[in-house]
Every structure is written in C-alpha cells, then in structure tokens.
Amino acid sequence: MQIQDLPYPDPGVPDARSGPRFLWWLFRNQLGGQLKSLAWGLLHFASVAALPFCVGVAVQAVVDRSGTGLALAGGLLALACVGNAVGDTFLHRTAITNWITAAARVQQLLARKAAHLGSALTRRVAAGEVVAVSTGDVEKIGWFVEALSRFTAALVTIVLVCAGLLVYQPALGVVVAVGLPALALAVLPLLPRATRRADTQREKAGRATELASDTVAGLRVLRGIGGEELFLDRYRSASQEVRHAAVRSARMWSLISAIQVLLPGLLLIAVVWYGVRLAREGRITVGELVTVYSSVMVLTYPLRHFEEIAMAYSFSRPSAKRAAGVLSLQRPTDTAGSRAADVPSGDLYDPETGLLAPAGRLTAVVCGDPDAAGLLAERLGGHPSQEGTSVLLGGVPLDELPLGSARTAVLVQDKDPVLLSGTLRDLLDVPASGAVQPDQALAAAQCDDVLAALVQGSLDATDPMDARITERGRSLSGGQRQRLALARSLITDPEALVLDEPTSAVDSHTEARIAQGVRELREGRTTVVFTSSPLLLDRADRVVFLHEGEAVAVGAHRELVRTEPRYRAVVTRETDDEAAPNGSVALNDVLHELEEIEEKA
C-alpha cells in the first residue's frame, strides 16, 4: 500500500484483544512494506558499518606503501558511500510510508467502528477520549510500526558486525561482542519506570483534552451562567498537571539518552586502551586497530535505535490499548445480516413496549421520561444501547438485516442533532431516495428565516445553498439548528422516520407550521415523533401514550386529553395536586390555545 492509494478498500478486522496484539496485527498487515523497509535498512546500516573497514584498509595501505591497496580502499569507500546514500533515502521513504499507512488504517478502523456503533459509542466512551485516540494515539501507533523494521535492520547489522570483528580480529572482537550487548541491555531496568511515567502523562493529557472539548462544546451555556472562569481554571490546572507529567517523563528519557552516550564512550576508551597494548606487542596492526575502533564508533548509530524502539513501544503501547478498547466495542445486538440486503416496508412495531406505528401514518409518542424516550427512539432505529427484543418493520426484525439496510429503512433524528461545518449544500447532500427535493424539505421545516440569516452572515454568498455553516452550527440558534437538521432528515425520505423532540427549541407558531409541513411532506410514509407538544400531537394520525415502558393508551390527542389523566398530566405539565380540581380547566386551556395557534398559523 502506497500513500497515494489511501484509503484502504478494506482496513481489515483488527485483533483488539489487547494493545500488543493490536500492534502485532498492524505489523502483519503491513508485512510487504515492513520487508521493504528492512531491506533498505540493511543496505543503509551495512554500508555505514563497512566504512570503518574501508578506512582500516586505507590506513594499512599507507603504512605498507601499497598503491593497489589504497586504490582498493578508495573503490570500497565509494561503493559504501553510494550504498549509504541510496539505502538511507529509500529507508526514509518506506519508513514514512509505513508510518502514514498504519495511522491511516487505524483511523479508518475507528471511523468504521464509530459508524457501526452510532450513538451507542459516546454512551460507552467519552467523546474526548475518542478524539484523542483518533488524533494523537494513531501517530504513536504508526511510529512504533515503522520503527520496528528499522530496529530489526539495526539489530541484524550489529550482530553481523560483531561476528565479523570476531573473525577479523578475535582479541578486540571479544571486547566488542561482549560490550555492545551490555550497552543495549543497560537501559532495560529504567524502561518500566519510563513507561509508567509516559502512561501517566498520556492519561492526564487525555483528561485535559476531554475537559477542553466539553468546555468548548458548552461555551455558550457557560457564558450564560458566568462559569467561564471556573472551567478555565480547571483546564489551567489540568494543563499544569500534563506539563509536570511531561517533564517527569522527559527527565527519565533524558537519563536513558545520557546512558546511551556514556556507555559507548567507555567502550571506546576500553577498546583503544586494550588495542594500543596489543599493537605495541605486535599482535595487531595499526590498520586493524583503526578498523575496530571505527567500527565501535560507527555502531553507536544503530545502537540508538534500541532507545528509539523502547520509546516508541512505551508511547504506543498505551495508545494501542486505548485504540483496541474502542475497536473491541460491540453493538448490543448483532446486525451481521442473516437476511438479504432488502429494505422492508410495513408497520413499525416494538414488542417490548407494544408501540405500533402503522405504515404510511404519522404517529406521535408521548413518554413522561425523556431518557426512556431517547432509548426507545434508538431501538426503533435498529441500534439499541442495550440488549432486548428486536424492533419489527413489516414483520422483519431489524437485527436480522445488514446494518446498512436497517439504517436505510429507519432513520432516527435524536433530540440534539449535529450539523457539520461546510456549505448548506454540503449539509443537505445526504443519501436520499430523490423523491424529496431540498427546497421542499426546507419549506416543510420552515427554514426561510434560517436561509436569510445564512446569506446575511456570509460575505460572498448570495445563494443560501452556498452559505457556510460554522462547526456544529454554533452561529445559529437552537431552533435554527433543529430546523436545518429536520430538513436534512426529510430529504433522505426513509421508509420510516423517527424524530425525537424535533421542535423543542421552536416557538409555538413556527411549530404549528412545521407540524403541518411534515404531515404533508411525509404523506404515505411512516413517521414517528416523540413529543409532548400539543401542536404536534394534534396533527398526528394517532397518539401512543407510554407509561412505565408500556403503551397504555392509543387514540387522538384531544380524546386522550379528555379520557386519560396520566396523559393529560404529561402534556399539560400538571402536578398531582393540580390534576383533580383543575383537570377540566387545563383541558379547556389546551384546546383554546390550539385553536388560537391554528387561526394564526
């Protein structure tokens, strides 16, 4: 896989049982790139390791006054330099490719998992943690994956050079062969502490990122209650904790780096001291001494990769563990697709509550518990947050449909829909049947004032469709965001549309027009609206009242207001003390308000 070929057609099924297993799975799935990197790395390190031998041959040729030997040394030196340049160039190219492609694979896996889990993801993992995994963690994971092949090339080179020195000059070769492994292993006792400090730094950074994300998301509310300074102080404190943890981690890695510099220096001193003694005794030549000395000096370069792989693993292991934790999440019910990928039609029925939404009709659902209503809406869409009996569409369990078919058949708009940044045209460019045009959906959702506001707030857009929407629609009011989200849902024109409190932030007059617009545009299509608004309830073909997780009453809105006290209490916001003496008064008030709004609308 090359960078220009990204994204992957299929990123694969990861082994998410643990962080190390996930790293090993990534390595195996990039075996071709790893082998290329290993080959170029061997060429690079072997060329570097050959330079001392070339220098030793040249020195010995000068001592022996041999022109042939000097020419041979020059030719070998030129060949080693060319191998070094070519190997280093392509090693860097393949290593960066491995890094980027590994990070891209992880990001694709995370994106696929987020789409698969839907709203259940943020119920089980904090949004800030997901952001941290998909940004900073993927880079650390990619770092280890690409560093592994370079480390392997360095390790093979060191082993070969040590073996060559034992053959070339056994006396000094023994010193090098014993000293180099000691250098590589000297820092192992420090790695667990360095890893713990790196883990602590990452945990604190994750909490700070989550706090910052939550603060930015709730900035408008914080300003309203004067809580900006409180949360800024909390973030400053969290940021300082991250800084202190980073300094403690850096100190440990600095100590490891210092040891990696000190010990090779001591080994060089030992080689020179012992080599000079051997040269004085006539047991080795000057050229051999220079060769061994230069080899030890040059080998400090591949030795640094031992420190790098230790750092890469220490930073990537917790990152891989967090990524594996997200990737291991499963849906409460499996929609692997035991049925054909067809979109069924018919009545939408929930066996757990007894809720029935007849095909082609507008059904309103009243539930006194908003949280229970949200969970039921998710279940109707085929992506419940907990195990249970599957919802049926036309008698077909949604759990038995492929996930794509289930979501095509039933679309759920939750009570806090998200608007992505971009133009309005991009926002409304969603998979759709083509039966509903954008202008029809915008008109039904009463977006005329929203379109005018978008044009007014844009510097260079005269067409509302080209006006830009800021991140999450923060420049719009809550009601404007709701109406744009409703228009986007209407454009998709699904077989069944489930709306959870779609007009909670809209004034009553606009709400009455939206109710009528949705009813007309969705004529002949199954629509379920979770609401307690009398305006929407009065436009529904039928109203279902849920009490304690069970459908206890079905009928028209005005009929239920008269005959069902519990329903009337939810719709009119009556308390138990108010319900008995003032029930008829509340009913008259509701009916009178409906008549007034209908006249004005």
Average pLDDT estimate for 54-71: 82
pLDDT of the residue at 215: 64
Average pLDDT estimate for 150-175: 85
C-alpha closest to that of 570 among 555, 584, 560, 582: 560
Q: Which residue has the tokens 């800024």?
A: 232
Residue 92 has which token pair?
Answer: 């860097």
Task: DSSP for 284-304, please give it.
Answer: S-HHHHHHHHHHHHHHHHHHH
* pLDDT tens column, 127-144: 667 777 887 788 889 889
Confidence of residue 516 (pLDDT cuts 50, 70, 90): very high
To the nearest whole percent, how much of the chain has pLDDT over 70? 89
Dmax (CA) of the chain: 121
Q: Per-residue pLDDT for 225 more than 90?
A: no
Confidence of residue 443 (pLDDT cuts 50, 70, 90): very high
Confidence of residue 377 (pLDDT cuts 50, 70, 90): confident
pLDDT of the residue at 520: 92
Q: How far is CA 70 from the centre of its chain?
A: 59
The model scores a pTM over 0.75? no
Burial class (CB in 10 A: 0-12, 13-18, 19+), 19: buried
Report the 10 Å Cβ neighbour count for 196. Answer: 14
More confident residue, 119 or 254: 254
Q: Per-residue pLDDT for 337 more than 70?
A: no
* pLDDT tens column, 181-202: 787 777 778 877 887 887 788 7
C-alpha closest to that of 365 among 322, 412, 407: 412
Q: Per-residue pLDDT for 594 more than 60?
A: no
pLDDT of the residue at 526: 93
Distance CA 506, CA 538 (A): 17
Confidence of residue 35 (pLDDT cuts 50, 70, 90): very high
Q: Which residue has the tokens 């509550």?
A: 353
Distance CA 207, CA 214 (A): 11
More confident residue, 47 or 1: 47
Q: Per-residue pLDDT for 398 more than 80?
A: yes
Average pLDDT estimate for 305-331: 84
* pLDDT tens column, 42-52: 999 888 888 87
Q: Taking a C-beta distance cutoff of 8 angstroms, is the pair 550, 353 a contact?
A: yes
* Mean residue pLDDT across the chain: 83
pLDDT of the residue at 581: 47
pLDDT of the residue at 580: 47
Apex 203 CA angle, 200 and 209, nearest 5: 140
To the nearest whole percent, how much of the chain has pLDDT over 90? 22
Q: Per-residue pLDDT for 345 more than 80?
A: yes
Task: DSSP for 139-193, please give it.
Answer: HHHHHHHHHHHHHHHHHHHHHHHHHHHHHH-HHHHHHHHHHHHHHHHTTGGGHHH
Distance CA 503, CA 450 (A): 15
Distance CA 193, CA 249 (A): 9
Burial class (CB in 10 A: 0-12, 13-18, 19+), 585: exposed
* pLDDT tens column, 82-120: 999 999 999 999 999 999 999 999 999 988 888 777 767
Confidence of residue 227 (pLDDT cuts 50, 70, 90): low
More confident residue, 592 or 530: 530
